[in-house]
Amino acid sequence: MEHSDAQAQPGLLARLIVARREEVPAVIGGFLLFFLLFASYFMLRPVRETFGIAGGVDNLQWLFLGTFLATLVVVPLYGALAARLPRRSLLPVTYIVSALVMFGFAIGLLTDPENVWVARAFYIWLSVFNLFVISLAWSLMADIFSVDQGRRLFGQIAAGASVGGLTGPLLSTFLVAPLGHAGLLMLSTVLLLATLACARYLMKWQERHGEHDPARTSTGTSMGGSIWAGITLILRSPYLIAISIFVILFTSVSTFLYFEQARVVEATFTDKVQQTQVFGAIDVAVQSLTVLIQIFFTGRLARRLGVTVLLTAVPVTMMFGFGLLALVATFPVLAAVMIVRRVGEYALVKPGREMLFTAVDTETKYKAKNVIDTFVYRGGDAISAWANTAIVAIGSTGAAAVAGALIAALWAWLGLYIGRRHDGATRGKAAGADG
């Protein structure tokens, strides 16, 4: 009896991350998957920013538009894959195709490293690629874990993304000189392919230990349906429409800050080396704080206060942040607002947004969610980029900051609505199950 009681007690790691003993391996597997995925992407982000700035800050909105148009092409192609492939094959096939494209860009950079059109195409492709592979990884998490598990564990799993996001730029900084841009792309490809082992392990774990849900179908079956099913599902669901608008408002706030960051940093630091060091310092601060919050606080906040607090805390903070920027647009103020926004995004908003999809059906997780994470996301980017450009041209950067504050207020209200609806529905189901 004493032995069985000891076995039932969770270990130290399980207590720290709010996981049951049998869930710890899955948390580690998810953590490693996101670590590898984000290290792969964040290695290349400095390369993308270098290629973007080379074309001039005043032309960034054209790259945003190009990214959105590319997304319009890729979304139906992904929809066709999702309709025909078994779910257990969807992630591997998508990642392998992405790896092949990345390898092709590496060859292009090796043969003609100064080609501006290769650089622009790479900027656009990486901006589309990162949303698709990250969205698909979270779709897998939403498929493997139940609503309760998502609330408790997604924060810790998302911490892998933050550690990878910290590791990637460090690898890029130290290896870009000996390997060059093409070498970084090849190393990034290896890391991306390594995530497939983690995905396979998680699928096997779900088969052995996952919580049974009659609404779920086997990962070995395909979802069928039209390649446009994701868009149709969104248009038929007020809940998904609300989430889509939430994402558009989120991208608008992020884009307004992105343009403000480019303007302030360009005006404050004229040397490119200094600019890179500043962006690196901000990244280190963001990822370090995010890891701590995700591991020790996100799961506890969601479990005790619900998803609502994760979706509203950052928008409310950004209302005051934009207000401060409207009054004092200096680099220290900007750096503080950027750090708070990005930490809040990774530690609160992103896990909270993913928790919204643990309570929906399989087709919504893989089709509608991907449309929201790519087409809607990049559409919001493109619209807000041109809106910011127009506001600054007509008014001033201060006017853009005021507009950002108003958008953040609407974002906070919508987060409150969606969060309360989700928390009410999931708690009702939990009460019914307990009864």
**Segment 103-161, tens digit of pLDDT:** 998 888 888 777 777 778 888 888 888 777 887 888 888 788 877 777 777 777 877 88
Joined tokens for residue 168: 């990637």
CB half-sphere exposure, 361, CA atoms < 13 A = 8
pLDDT for 222 equals: 47
What are the structural domain ranges in the chain? 20-210+222-429
∠ CA 338-70-360 to the nearest 5 degrees?
70
pLDDT > 90? residue 36: yes
Is residue 364 over pLDDT 80?
no
d(CA 415, CA 134): 22
Q: Answer yes or no: are the C-beta atoms of 122 and 48 closer than 8 Å.
A: yes
Longest dimension (CA), the chain: 76
- Which tokens belong to 50? 């270098």
CB 358 within 8 A of CB 142: yes
Q: What is the SS3 assignment for 86?
A: strand
Just give the CATH number of 20-210+222-429.
1.20.1250.20
Nearest of 362, 348, 419, 295 to residue 139 by alpha carbon? 362
Q: Is 75 exposed, middle or buried (0-12, 13-18, 19+ CB in 10 A)?
A: buried
Nearest of 132, 169, 151 to residue 287 by alpha carbon = 169
pLDDT in tens, 274-328: 665 667 677 777 877 877 776 667 667 767 777 888 888 889 999 998 888 888 8
% of the chain surpassing 70 pLDDT = 80
**Which comes out higher in pLDDT, residue 390 or 146?**
390
Question: What is the reported pLDDT for 257?
Answer: 85
Distance CA 376, CA 78 (A): 15
- State the CB neighbour count (10 A cutoff) for residue 100: 10
